Amino acid sequence: MSDLNRNISYKIEQLLQLFPAVIIIGTRQCGKTSLAKKLRSNWEYIDLESSQTFDRVSNDISFFFKEHPANLIIDEAQVYPDIFKELRVVIDTDRKTNNRFIITGSSSLELLKNVSESLAGRVGIVELAPFKANEAFDTSISQFYKLFESPITRKSLDEIKTLPVICSHHQMKTHFLKGGYPDASLAQTDIAYSQWMENYFTTYINRDIRSLFPKLDLIKFRRFTQLLASMSGQVINKSNLARAIEVSDKTIKDYLDISDGTFVWRTIRSYEKSYSKSIIKMPKGGFRDSGLLHFHKNIINTEQLDRSPDIGHDFEHFVIEEIIRGLESTFATNWKYHYFRTRGGAEIDLILEGSFGVVPVEIKYGMKVNLKKLSSLTNFINEHELPFGILVNNGDNIEMLSQNIIQIPITYL
């Protein structure tokens, strides 16, 4: 796993030249430690989940940083929140020196709170997700994502049309099935894959959630997480979920925030900057890792995947995650993602908005689509006077489907 290249490596290298520290956040077992060690193989490494290391650091943290004022990797920093206050002192004693610390953490809820309170302006923050498809198959990331580092215009279509294929349809389907957790995606047998996933989810509930939220009803939260599997890629009705688990709507909101903050689920807000007055404002979302989603649905091979009645919704969110993972490796800033749906049935699966402009993306599982089914995309492009929109599907070639809609097969992304 440590030998595979990660798309975000170059961005981290650049941020280390700009900040004294870089924080890598992300779900457990996505490769944060391996990446940090690969980037700075000659630095001291400490794991705060090791009781011996924790005691050594916490017993006299000032002395520890006196001995290690730089060239240090701090793993799972959220375990010891006081370390952020001390890091601020250490950094400020030599504020002009960058490239001193790499910090990792598995919970964005507490970790980012501590960062904002203690290290604001002193650190660069990146999110590492499980493998994107090109990482799993050790190929270069698509140049498609570089387009988002500057304003997108009609001229961007010329660059899109010349994109090379990143991986085969078979490889992409395998990645869709197994997801991107490195150990799971590289498992040699279905049994090894299933055992890893089961152990991962059990550890997530019984260790991570129990530690972060000791008063949480773990039985109900487990049921909630499993129920979410049937709603991935769809609008979330909190009241229905609340009735199913026998909790309040507020508890469901808390559960969704916890799932999102611990990188299992991604909540996607509705796009409300539209001229339509009938926008559905409820959020939708999906499992960030398609392999974990399929584990919950007992789908472990492509035959079962093909028979799944939810394959369209699941593929939709899989593509959304692939696109977001690609954008996170770029230097695009202040960008957001949304979806669009009206009570009249108009819908767009993903809307990307940032300094590059607004890019609407429709996602279909099949190879071909009737242009009539893209009327919502066409209308949105025209109403907002956008240069073009994108259809992502399982087609073979990049091609213009109309004057302002370009098809990009997922194998190019």
Is the pLDDT at 220 greater than 80? The verdict is: yes
Looking at residues 255-269, what average pLDDT do you find?
A: 92
Residue 190: per-residue pLDDT: 85
Residues 6+ away with beta carbon under 8 Å from 26:
32, 104, 106, 127, 128, 129, 263
Average pLDDT of the residues in 34-40: 95
Q: Which residues partner with 392 through β-bridges?
A: 363, 408
Phi, psi of 103 (to 5 degrees): -120, 140
Q: Which of helix, strand or coil describes residue 216?
A: coil
Which of these, 196, 266, 206, 265, lies nearest to 29 by C-alpha position? Answer: 196
State mean pLDDT over 319-334.
Answer: 96
Mean pLDDT within 282-311: 93
Give the model's pLDDT for residue 382: 94
Average pLDDT over residues 150-170: 96
Cα–Cα distance between 278 and 21 in angstroms, integer? Answer: 45
Q: Kindly list the domain boundaries of the chain, sorted by start residue.
A: 9-127, 133-412
Predicted local confidence at residue 1, as pLDDT: 47
| pLDDT higher than threshold 80 for residue 112 | no
Look at residue 378 and tell me whether its pLDDT is greater than 60. Answer: yes
CATH H superfamily, domain 9-127: P-loop containing nucleotide triphosphate hydrolases (3.40.50.300)
Give 61-66 contacts, CB < 8 A, sequence gap 24+.
61/86, 62/86, 65/89, 65/90
Total Cβ atoms within 10 A of residue 60: 11
For 246-355, where are the alpha helices, taking DSSP H only? Answer: 249-261, 290-296, 302-307, 311-328
Residue 133: pLDDT above 70?
A: yes
Which range among 104-108, 246-250, 311-315, 374-378 shows the weakest confidence by mean pLDDT? 104-108
- Asked which of 5-14, 185-194, 263-272, 399-408 is least confident by mean pLDDT, the reply is 185-194
For residue 234, the model assigns a pLDDT of 83
pLDDT class of 276 with cuts at 50, 70, 90: low
- Report the mean per-residue pLDDT for the chain: 91
pLDDT greater than 70 at residue 108: no
Average pLDDT of the segment spanning 327-331: 95
pLDDT at residue number 136: 94
Mean pLDDT of 385-399: 97
pTM: 0.93
Confidence of residue 2 (pLDDT cuts 50, 70, 90): low
